[in-house]
């Protein structure tokens, strides 16, 4: 499948769109693409550059992520605009 390939190349470039991060992986937000209005609103909800998140579920439909004890569902579209790097 195409998506697998994308993950691979993205992996080499370090930045992985959130939508391609596999379940139970912990990543750090490095950049949020998109218009400033969208970015500001997301920032205000606590999704910001430098914040660590854990992907709880990522199969079909929205992605579920965890920041501390908070859980967010993010639609496919937005999950591809959030770039992350893996942390270990």
Which CB, 4 or 9, lies closer to other proteins? 4
Q: How many residues bind other proteins (CB under 8 A)?
A: 39
| Residue numbers 7-26 binding other proteins by CB under 8 A | 24, 26
Task: List the one residue out of 34, 16, 24, 45 whose CA is nearest residue 77.
Answer: 34
Find all residues with CB under 8 Å of 45, minimum gap 6, and list them.
72
Half-sphere exposure of 54 (CA within 13 A, CB side): 9
Residue 86 as a binder of other proteins (CB under 8 A): the answer is: no
Which CB, 6 or 66, lies closer to other proteins? 66
Residue 69 as a binder of other proteins (CB under 8 A): the answer is: yes
């Amino acid at each position: 499948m195409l998506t697998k390939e994308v993950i691979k190349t993205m992996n080499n470039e370090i930045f992985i769109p959130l939508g391609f991060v596999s379940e139970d992986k912990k990543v750090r937000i490095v950049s949020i693409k998109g218009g400033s209005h969208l970015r500001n609103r997301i920032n205000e909800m606590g999704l910001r550059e430098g914040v660590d998140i854990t992907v709880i579920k990522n199969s079909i439909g929205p992605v579920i992520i965890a920041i501390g004890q908070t859980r967010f569902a993010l639609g496919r579209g937005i999950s591809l605009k959030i770039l992350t790097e893996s942390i270990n």
